[in-house]
Amino acid sequence: MDLNNLPHFDVLPQHIGFIMDGNGRWAKERGLPRYKGHIEGAKTFRKIGEFAGDLGIKYLTFYAFSTENWKRPPDEVAAIMNLFREYLKELDDRKAENEEKGIQVNFIGSKKGLPKDILAMMKYSEKITEDKTKVYLNIAVNYGGREEIVHSVKLIAKLVKKGKLKPDDITEDMISRGLYTAGMPDPDLIIRPSGEKRLSNFLLWQAAYAEFWSSNVLWPDFTEEDLVEALRNFEKRNRRFGGV
């Protein structure tokens, strides 16, 4: 889409969460191995992430690999890990471009079980983009919403054990500060293509008042126009946050 002719919105979400669903089905429909769907899905991730940033959306969180995805066939998991490696290398190759766009990259999720080379590349990518503040790009890798809440609760439990905190003094804000998204606004909008209508363990705490938008389009076929449709729908929502 032409950067000089971007659509205008009266209301934009500060933070969008994307559940990138449908890669496997996309490949199956075409008689291709599942990893081919993930390759096409990775292209869509780049395209939609850049477009959303151009529109002025400051926080983007993409659900790339869940804690449950380890149960998938080993060859599919290996293909996904190789895609991470390619993307991380690309981040380094496109340093100048990302600097111009002001993109800060963050990886959220548990580090346990991830290959050491990927962990090192993730750390490097976060380091070289840590001073960028125009767009905060969160990539959820080995991520699970329940695991994230447990992670936060354990941090609080350690303070209680040391006598630095009383159980009665625990607040929602303390739990939020222990999450992987600490310091970021909660998502205003969760987008899930592929026809499914569930969170699938994604941003469970943060999505308490998020608007939800789903589409029958499989993720590899998701376009800038689909994102515009979701944002037009969001504009019309009456967000009361439990009030009248």
In terms of Cα–Cα distance, which of 3, 12, 95, 97 is closest to 60? Answer: 12
Gap between the Cα atoms of 110 and 129, Å rounded: 20
Q: Residue 21 catalytic?
A: yes
Residue 175 in tokens: 């739990």
Alpha-carbon distance of 244 to 235, in angstroms, equals 18
> Does the annotation count 54 as an active-site position?
no
In the chain, which residue ranges form alpha helices assigned H by DSSP? 23-29, 34-55, 74-93, 95-101, 116-129, 145-161, 172-177, 224-235
Token reading at 163: 């006598």
Q: Which of 54, 69, 82, 201 is catalytic?
A: 69
Burial 52-65 (b: 16+ CB within 10 A, else e): bbebebbbbbbbbb
Question: Distance between CA atoms of 178 and 186, rounded to whole angstroms?
Answer: 14
Catalytic pick among 4, 5, 21, 75: 21
Residues catalogued as catalytic: 21, 69
